[in-house]
Amino acid sequence: MTAKKNLFYILLIILVLLVTYHSYNYFKQYKRNVEYEQAKEKHRQATSLYYAKSALDFRIRFFSLKNNVKGQNWDTLPEEQSKSVWFHKEKALYQKISKDKSYDILVLPLQEYRPSLDRVTRISSARYIADEIRNRTSKSVMPVELAQRLLGERSFRFSDTDVAKLAERHKIKKIIYLYINQQYRGYPKTKLAIVADTVDKGLQVKLFDIAAKSKIITFELAVMDVTPEIVSQLFGDNMERKSNKVEHFSIPPRLPETIIELAEGEKSPLQQAINLQLLGMLVPKNSRYERRRFFERSLIALRSVNPDSSAYNYLTSRAYFYLYRRPMALKQLGEPKTHEEKALHAYIKGNYPELKLMYEKIESPLFKLMAYFELSNLGEVYLITEELPLPIGIANKWMELAVSRTRDNDIWYAPDNTRFFRNLEGAFPEFDILYTDQIKSKAAIGDIRKYNYKLDTIFETAFLNYVNNNEESLCCYQGSSKVSKYDIALLYRTVGISNLLRKLNKYVNVQARYNASVDLYDAYESVFDGHGGLLRFKAEILDNKIDRASETEKMALIKDAYEQADMSYRLIGGTDQDAYIAFYIKRKYLQEYKNTFNHSNDRNILSMYSHDYPSSYSVGGSLKDPADIFRYTHTDFNLFERALNMLENKESESDVNITKEEMQADLKTRFNGHPGKIPFQARTLSRRGDVEGARRILTAAVENKAHIWTVYSQLGWFFIQDGQYDKAKEVFLKYPEFSKKIHNDPVTLSHHAFDAGSMLFWRGAAEQSRVFYQFAADLDTGSGSSIAGAQRVAILDRDFLTATQISLHAAQRYNSIYRYRDYLEMMHVYGLHERAEAGFVELAPRFETPQLWSGKFIGQRIQHTSLNEFIDWIYDYKKTAHDKLLAQIDRFTLTQSVVDRKLTTDNLPAINKVIALRGIQDNFKKGFNSASKLIKYLDSEPGMDITEVVINQDFPPAGDSKDYPAAPPVEQEIKSVPSKYSLFIDAYTHLKNNNILLAYERFKQYAMFYNIGTPDYKMDTHVLPYMALTVKEANKLENFERYLKEEYRIKHNDTFDYRLANAIILAEKGDVDESLKNLDKSLSLRPHTNFRVTYTMYQMLEISEMLYKKTKDQRYITKALKWANYYQKIQPHVSWTYAFEAKYGKNTKDRIEAIAYTLYLDPQSYWLQSAPTKYHVRAKKWWIKNNPFILPKQKQTKKTKT
């Protein structure tokens, strides 16, 4: 019994121990679980967006930012803003206007970590939410536009410190932040965060997934759709949005007598929307931001208008369009019903004839004026010169503003502000008084003329005085959906600034008056220091100075230009033309001086605004998706054509949501009246081989008296290509503007006349060109074309002194490389070599292209410079030349060595020594470039598929040429390639010395490294005809001919080099008749020389001579003599045309004159050596009596003073 009892106690103890043990473990695990859940909740609160303790804390979580970048992301004022006086002045101005007015709620514009959506999207999203709060609650909301201006006009994120100060100053109880986090443009799926920070209640976080319903619905419109839900979640469903009345016009909207009436009296939301849009259309095109603000506000006004009201769709569509939402504008407008809607639809489509037709039918004076602005704009862009009188009934007090808007695209329109505002007197009396007072005060203290350019800035003082005098009445209306007097004052100010920028653009980019532009900029900077648009012009002015600066000054100027462009680009804060120009200046220096400006942030900022969606399309900032280009482009036909080309180059259309057929169908009602449309259709037919169809389209347009100059120029060009110069002249003269006595746009007309003359002038029809040059000169517009027309007439009249004086005038006025070229050439011809040399030294570093070197060519030939002397000079010059001149130097080295000279292989080491100095190479990808297609044809067997050809990479020994590597394997990366100039001079020298097989191999090696099969800026195709001269002896004539027909002609249609090469192949095959026809065709296709080694006309004479030697057919010489004679008329100072006639001329008198010219212009001429020496004495006597290049003493004295 005792044993059982003991066992029981033992078991009981064990049980107690077991229970105790398990209980201990249970409670221990329970404690662990509690601690784990507490830690888990603590972590969740530390990372969850909903438990953020501040806006900064939320952003760190929302954007996944690291702690070490907290400060620099939001709360530090960007350097460009801290430096800008204008930025701080603007903030101070709006602080003064807003004073200390109290608001319940502040809705901040949408903020991003990196910009991806445009300013319209950011501010409009906030506007819609603010408007919804205003309509559904009793809360007062600060106007979003006022908040934007107070915190930084163009900022895409705001300093927490500034926001806190703003809230404190205006006693704001709730701040609503809007953030988005997206990774790519177009928001296929984006998370929108609404963070409400309420005094004493902390943060309230709401997240919304905003998914794109379609490509045309921009982000702010998607936000607008969810604003009821946003407001309900923030404030509850206690109130509904007020219903909107249906409004209809009892009479068509009228235009008030004065602009100030737009801000006076009570007006319905519909009328307010109309007035806001009218003000937006009065804002100049180069003030895009201020223009868009009026249209943004008109959309807010329209939110209080019933969609069934009159003109609702019309006004909403127009607002979307001016906010660069073209696809949405078309969707909103739908099928147009009224004349106003049809006119707007035609404008959005870029359909000028339809817009003009509908414009005439509009009855409302106000809507008619709006359509008039759009018709004028389209006409200017499309270069339509017909006069469009202002609509009947527009009061005189509107006239100046209305006229100024019709000249938005006129680069010559840059009115003085004093005259401009004087003409506006009476439209805004309160402003007029203040402006006149400023003028009087300047006049009272002395001669008003001493203020010069500063008079243009007086409007700013008048504007600020107006603000000071009306502080009490301004704050309540700022940025609302109602027009206020401040809006009118702001319009005046915006127009005044626009006129300043237009004048700067005229000085800098139109007239190239750089010295005067410095004075102009300094006068404006004293008032508008740090203005983004102004800084862009400072960057351009400095950029121009760099080319003329000494080496010691250059780097300081580069850094200054870079800094000004950088500040301008960032201050502008989005896509517009000023930012676009600043972008290119900045990018240029980032690329050229990588070590100086090696900042990754600087490189990132360059791509920032290409994501300024969708406004980036306004300047071609985003050009990857052809569907987007198609939808968004308005009047830029080149972009539309580019989108079509992108589609054609796609291997499949699976990655784009539009087809060529859709674009072609839409084209039927788009771009009608655009100067590029009919020529585009003609080009399309021509590319398809239907040349006659192309001619029919153009001929029909000419017969219908089309206003489009390109129709006449393209049809005339067809006749020029056929050698029918009289017929081309006849077509050009049918252009209607040429027969009018009064011209609406004489500057543009002078360009057209000059273009017509030049198409004829450079292709052998000098006399046919005269009428057009004379017409351009007689217009006397001061344009480059008008001045150059007068110069060409003087050349044709053989009044070389006048032509030279005009060249200098045009060169200095427009910084034209072509007119400087003409001037320096004639200075050498007149024997003023030192002056010409000084001009060359000063000017050459300014320009990227080699036109100025033709003056050096003429001067050195006249001064009997031997090849050895030339080599010594060019070698020393290249040692210290600017990097951008190296290619020009190498090209000129060859030009001076080969044109009308006898080269031997003994000359090659000296020439290659120059080329090797500071050698330059093109950029190469791995393996061969696309030129290898030619090599495949040359290495192919008859009937062989070209794609199966393996390129033979074995080259013969270098022979007389040193240090040329053999072609590398296809897979091998090319690290070092021979200079194209060394390759060419080696091959050319062998060709001229009859080493044909070696020349063929050298040309083939050139083709292996450089693309001689694609016409481009670098002009490598000039090698093609020379190579054609070698293929017969290399037994590759059929291969080469096959390449020309199957590859080159199909891809590039007709070109100068194709016709020359084909003429050679035909001559080698014995078909001289067809060969001569191809030579004739090459004349009409002759391009400018540019970077080609030899002058194109010289190449024609040279190849004609070589074909004559091959075939013994005199017709080649007869034809070449004809070309030489015509070229003497248009380029009377070029030696080798006279030298060719001296060698081959038939008429003794003409031959003696040609010898005389050559003895003066190039006594060392190789062709001259073959001319009969018996004529030299007679030629010298003739020259003494008839030298046209002697300056008369009186004129010489005058010219020297000049």
pLDDT score, position 70 = 43
pLDDT score, position 925 = 37
- The CA distance from 241 to 136, in Å, is 5
pLDDT for 1152-1170, tens place per residue?
999 999 999 999 999 999 9
105-107/174-181 β-pairing = parallel
Q: Exposure of 261 by Cβ count < 10 A (0-12 exposed, 13-18 middle, 19+ buried)?
A: middle
First to last CA, the chain: 143
* In the chain, where the domains are located: 2-47, 55-235, 531-622, 626-674, 921-1113, 1136-1202
Q: How many CA atoms lie within 13 A of 218 on its CB side?
A: 28
Q: Which of 394-408, 417-431, 528-542, 664-678 has the lowest mean pLDDT?
A: 394-408
> In what order do the strands lie in the sheet containing 174-181?
105-107, 174-181, 189-198, 202-211
Strongest mean pLDDT among 22-26, 153-157, 595-599, 727-731? 727-731
847: which 2 tokens?
């320009």
If one counts every other C-beta atom within 10 angstroms of the C-beta of residue 2, the result is: 6
Helices assigned H by DSSP within 1131-1186: 1135-1144, 1148-1161, 1176-1186
pLDDT score, position 930 = 44
- The CA distance from 391 to 368, in Å, is 7
256 alpha carbon, distance to own chain's centre: 39
636 — pLDDT class (breaks 50, 70, 90) = confident
Q: Which residue has the tokens 């290249």?
A: 878
1074: which 2 tokens?
């067809």
Kindly tell me if the per-residue pLDDT of 648 is higher than 90.
no
pLDDT score, position 66 = 52
- The CA distance from 1108 to 1118, in Å, is 10
Cα three-residue angle 652-658-660, rounded to 5 degrees: 75
690: which 2 tokens?
């239907």
More confident residue, 295 or 746: 295
294: which 2 tokens?
């009026």
**CB within 8 Å of 293: residues ≥ 6 apart:** 145, 280, 479
Instruction: Kindly state the average pLDDT of the residues 627-641.
Output: 83
Helix-then-strand count for the chain, H and E: 58, 4
- Contact in structure between 980 and 1009 (CB atoms under 8 Å): yes
Q: Which class does domain 921-1113 fall in? A: mainly alpha
Return the CATH superfamily for domain 55-235. Answer: ABC-type transport auxiliary lipoprotein component (3.40.50.10610)
- The CA distance from 102 to 171, in Å, is 5
- Contact in structure between 860 and 824 (CB atoms under 8 Å): no
Amino acid type, 282: L
- Contact in structure between 747 and 781 (CB atoms under 8 Å): yes
- The CA distance from 196 to 551, in Å, is 57
- Tell me which H or E stretch contains 181: strand 174-181
- The CA distance from 1167 to 1162, in Å, is 10
pLDDT for 901-948, tens place per residue?
999 999 999 999 999 887 655 444 333 444 467 888 888 777 666 665
Percent share of the chain, pLDDT over 90: 39
Which three-class secondary structure state does DSSP give residue 176?
strand
490 — pLDDT class (breaks 50, 70, 90) = very high
- The CA distance from 388 to 386, in Å, is 6
Q: What phi and psi, each to the nearest 5 degrees, are found at residue 194?
A: -110, 115
- Contact in structure between 194 and 178 (CB atoms under 8 Å): yes
20: which 2 tokens?
């105790």
Which three-class secondary structure state does DSSP give residue 874?
helix
373: which 2 tokens?
């602005």
If one counts every other C-beta atom within 10 angstroms of the C-beta of residue 552, the result is: 7
1126 — pLDDT class (breaks 50, 70, 90) = very high
Instruction: Kindly state the average pLDDT of the residues 627-646.
Output: 82
pLDDT score, position 1139 = 97
**CB within 8 Å of 910: residues ≥ 6 apart:** 867, 868, 871
| Mean pLDDT, all residues of the chain | 83
- The CA distance from 247 to 306, in Å, is 7
- Tell me which H or E stretch contains 601: helix 600-608
pLDDT score, position 654 = 43
pLDDT score, position 382 = 87
pLDDT score, position 1170 = 93
- Round the CA-based radius of gyration of the chain to a whole number and report it: 37
624 — pLDDT class (breaks 50, 70, 90) = low
pLDDT score, position 158 = 85
pLDDT for 34-75, tens place per residue?
655 555 455 445 555 655 677 777 877 777 755 444 444 555
Q: Exposure of 206 by Cβ count < 10 A (0-12 exposed, 13-18 middle, 19+ buried)?
A: middle
Task: Tell whether the torsion through CA atoms of 1033, 1034, 1035 and 1038 is positive or negative.
Answer: negative
Amino acid type, 188: P
Kindly tell me if the per-residue pLDDT of 823 is higher than 50.
yes
pLDDT for 551-565, tens place per residue?
778 888 888 888 888
70: which 2 tokens?
């907290």
pLDDT for 1042-1081, tens place per residue?
988 888 776 666 789 999 999 999 999 999 999 999 999 9
- Contact in structure between 653 and 663 (CB atoms under 8 Å): no
Kindly tell me if the per-residue pLDDT of 651 is higher than 60.
no
- The CA distance from 269 to 1060, in Å, is 70
Paired with 353 in beta bridges are none
- The CA distance from 920 to 976, in Å, is 10
Burial pattern 684-712, b for ≥16 Cβ within 10 A else e, equals bbbeeeeeeebbebbeebbeeebbbbbbb
Nearest to 501 by CA among 523, 533, 532, 528: 533
pLDDT score, position 976 = 57
DSSP designation for 64: T
Nearest to 1154 by CA among 1125, 1177, 1130: 1125
pLDDT score, position 317 = 96
pLDDT for 191-239, tens place per residue?
788 888 888 787 888 888 887 666 678 888 888 988 999 999 888 876 7
pLDDT score, position 238 = 66
Paired with 38 in beta bridges are none
Nearest to 960 by CA among 919, 918, 1002: 1002
Q: Which of 58-72, 441-455, 511-525 has the lowest mean pLDDT?
A: 58-72
Q: Exposure of 240 by Cβ count < 10 A (0-12 exposed, 13-18 middle, 19+ buried)?
A: exposed
Burial pattern 3-28, b for ≥16 Cβ within 10 A else e, equals eeeeeeeeeeeeeeeeeeeeeeeeee
847 — pLDDT class (breaks 50, 70, 90) = confident
E strands, 880-969, are none
Q: Which residue has the tokens 């013994």?
A: 1112
pLDDT score, position 917 = 86
If one counts every other C-beta atom within 10 angstroms of the C-beta of residue 220, the result is: 23
pLDDT score, position 1134 = 95
Amino acid type, 1137: T
pTM above 0.85, yes or no: no
- Contact in structure between 410 and 383 (CB atoms under 8 Å): no
Torsion, Cα of 831, 837, 839, 845 (10° steps): 150
pLDDT score, position 741 = 85
Strongest mean pLDDT among 66-80, 585-599, 1137-1151? 1137-1151
Stated length of the chain: 1202
pLDDT for 981-1014, tens place per residue?
999 999 999 999 999 999 999 999 888 888 887 6
217 alpha carbon, distance to own chain's centre: 27
- Contact in structure between 951 and 970 (CB atoms under 8 Å): yes
- The CA distance from 741 to 822, in Å, is 32
pLDDT for 950-973, tens place per residue?
555 544 443 344 444 444 444 344
- The CA distance from 1010 to 757, in Å, is 35
Which three-class secondary structure state does DSSP give residue 1125?
helix
- The CA distance from 197 to 998, in Å, is 82
105-107/202-211 β-pairing = unpaired
